[in-house]
Structure 1
Amino acid sequence: MLKIGEFSKLSHLTVKALRFYERKGILIPKKVDEQTGYRFYETSQLKEAARIKSYRQLGLTIEELQATNKGINLKEILISKAESLKSQKEEIENRLLIIHHLLNASEMQYQVIEKVIPETIVYYSEVKIKNYSDMMKIIPNLASECIKLNPDIKCTRPPYEFCEYLDKEHKENNILIRHNEAVECMGKESERIKFKIIPTTKVLSIFYKGAYDEIGVAYSFLMKYVEDNGYQVSGRSRECYIDGIWNKESVDEWLTEIQIPIV
């Protein structure tokens, strides 16, 4: 049998980690000397130690390791972990895109990115607003109405919220918009709150910084990029509001992502 120090060297787990795993019931020594308190392990336990180390490197929690010891299906835990990591990856990629945009803002006005928006459930509302500045006032009201109808509903992680313009021509007043926000499941509907599934969509994306009344320049740039590079528009443009009146004092700091669905 191996003393805890010897087992630590062979398993590449610190003595502190081994004592911790023992307290949590994850890796128990085969023998504990009652007089000295020395822990002893069998060489056959090195395989279990390697399994624990590999699962911890994958990000499994102590609670998840305990669950596997209690007979919970490991496959289910790994599938759940994979979904969590996928969500984190998408959120990190979105943050990196924004950071890249901010770092290069002084070098180029816009940078076009092609990406795929996965299939998602959204709650949506079609409403008329007097002018564009009213958009940021009505969106929180729509969210409150949805939560009132569906108290347990949760938005997806990473979040995905966007508005579409439904009028057939540009309008300065009485603008018909559709507000969409991705959620984890379908919910109860009302006259204004509806649910639907948006299919997987490939989009061209740019980030625009500044007040909304100047956003037309960014649209013009992106549409020219579509034409110059042989893309075809496959749906209405989407405006995703990242920074705005809710967290920035100056309109110069507002940040909007424009997405154009393409094929």
Structure 2
Amino acid sequence: MFKISEFSKLSQVPAKTLRFYDQLELLKPAYTDQQSGYRYYTSEQLLHLHRILAFKDLGFTLEQIKQLLKDNVSIAEIRGMLRLKQAEMHSLIQSETERLRRIEFRLEQIERQSDGLSRYEVVVKKVEPLMVATLKATTSRASIPGLFEEIDEYLTWNGISLPVTHMVMWHGCPECESSIDVEIACPIPRKLQDTARFQTKLLPEMTVASVTHMSRPDADTPVSIDLGAWIEENGYRISPEMPSREVYISPQESNKLRYVTESQMPILGAGFMQ
């Protein structure tokens, strides 16, 4: 038998790691002296340790490795776990390839611009499903603050505390002066009673290109033009199935008409469900 220090040298695995594997019952010593607490290992345990290291190199967690090394685990179960890990790694490579492409575009953008700075920083992210109260209207952009007030009254009547985040979903042209099809939405913690004017719905998950900026809900902003250019230059497509959104997060302290705003454009492209 080998003392833990000797087994550590043979295996090139730190003694601290071996003690940790013992605590996890991943690799228990062949013998532990009850009086001194010294751990002893056999040469055969090097094979078990090397299997642990091999699975760890493949990216499995220690808990997953425990499952893989069980005496009663079947070949089919091992194959299934390896295929799951394979799919996970493919997804990670795809995601990192997309990230690399965005970095390369950002570098090219800096080279093209004299001041080295982009007007807006674009982020690609997934937006989780969200329960909202909504109000649809065909109106002008100047009427949007009034629609915010109307939906706030509805929420207050239903016992929802204010302030809330307001969202505008564009079903029509946001740059048009009149007859814009918009849907005002506010996140809610529970389903509310629908009326002829208001509805509760669950917004689906989607992938968006997102920009945070300052804007007024009653005035047009050029950010959509910049966002559209970024989407095209980065090889994405605007999703035809989902409306773009503007999320008015909070009003500016010095000017309550201006909001910290997140513009979200739903996109399709490499690495995303289409």
TM-score of the aligned structures, taking structure 1 as reference length: 0.53
Query: Partner of 1:149 in structure 2?
Result: none
Query: Partner of 1:109 in structure 2?
Result: 119
Q: Please give the alpha-carbon distance, in whole angstroms, between the structure 2 residues aligned to 1:57 and 1:63.
A: 14
What 5-or-longer segments of structure 2 have no aligned partner?
138-142, 159-166, 270-274
CA, structure 1 residues 224+66, in 2 after alignment: closer, same or farther (shift >3 Å)?
A: closer
Task: Summarize deviations over 1:163-199 as a string: whole Å, max 9, x none.
Answer: 5223466468997316598xxxxx989743334766x
Q: Please give the alpha-carbon distance, in whole angstroms, between the structure 1 residues aligned to 2:89 and 2:147.
A: 36
Query: Partner of 2:26 in structure 1?
Result: 26
Q: CA deviation at 1:78?
A: 8.3
Aligned residue for 1:108, secondary structure, equals coil
Letter in 2 for 1:107: L
| Residue in structure 2 matching 1:131, options 137, 144, 163 | 144
Would you say 1:238 and 2:231 are equivalent positions? no
Letter in 1 for 2:264: I
TM-score of the aligned structures, taking structure 2 as reference length: 0.52
CA, structure 1 residues 224+14, in 2 after alignment: closer, same or farther (shift >3 Å)?
A: closer
Query: Partner of 2:50 in structure 1?
Result: 50
Q: CA deviation at 1:28?
A: 0.7
Aligned residue for 2:182, secondary structure, equals strand
CA, structure 1 residues 208+33, in 2 after alignment: closer, same or farther (shift >3 Å)?
A: closer
**Higher Cα radius of gyration:** 2
Q: Please give the alpha-carbon distance, in whole angstroms, between the structure 2 residues aligned to 1:83 and 1:106.
A: 36
Aligned residue for 2:5, secondary structure, equals helix
How much identity, in percent, do the aligned residues show? 23
> CA RMSD of the aligned region, Å?
5.9
CA, structure 1 residues 69+179, in 2 after alignment: closer, same or farther (shift >3 Å)?
A: farther
Any conservation in 2 of the 1:32–1:38 contact (CA below 8 Å)? yes
Q: CA deviation at 1:219?
A: 1.7
Query: Partner of 1:156 in structure 2?
Result: none
What 5-or-longer segments of structure 1 have no aligned partner?
146-161, 182-186
Any conservation in 2 of the 1:110–1:206 contact (CA below 8 Å)? no
Any conservation in 1 of the 2:239–2:267 contact (CA below 8 Å)? yes
Q: Please give the alpha-carbon distance, in whole angstroms, between the structure 2 residues aligned to 1:133 and 1:57.
A: 59
Letter in 2 for 1:217: P
| Residue in structure 1 matching 2:226, options 207, 221, 225 | 221
Letter in 2 for 1:131: I
